[in-house]
Amino acid sequence: MDVKLTKKPIPSVTVAGEVDLSNADRVEAAIKQASETGPDIILNLSEATYLDSAGANLVFVACRQASKRNGHVALVVKNKNVRRMLEVLGADCVPNVALREGLADAMKALGVTD
């Protein structure tokens, strides 16, 4: 699993590969670091191939971090199994979370325009 933190134009945490209990702490640390940069966070799971419950919990970690600053979270999810898991958990029903298929759409959902 790879984790990348980008701070501009919106703090973004990009995750590639499988996220599970053995590595979720690395993603959580990146989310917390991203939340220090601004109120909104993009959690880019477009290259994630698997999430267990620890991985899925990271969505709610991002949500809590953004809520502390009255911010929002945009989730970028392309893998249908990852998306389905997040939908079953209700991530798409959380008021400050936007579930999107692409990074450009996620940035637009958070008010960033070209």
Task: Measure the CA–CA gap between 31 and 43, rounded to whole angstroms.
Answer: 8
Confidence label for 38 from pLDDT (cuts 50, 70 and 90):
confident
Q: Using the predicted structure, report yes or no on whether residue 113 has a pLDDT greater than 80.
A: no
Cis peptide before 9 (omega within 30 of 0): yes
What pLDDT score was predicted for residue 3? 96
**Domain extents in the chain:** 2-109
The predicted-structure confidence for 51-101, as pLDDT tens digits, reads as follows: 998 988 998 899 999 989 999 999 999 999 999 988 888 887 888 888 898
CATH 3.40.50.720 fits 2-109, yes or no: no
Is this model's pTM higher than 0.85 or not? yes
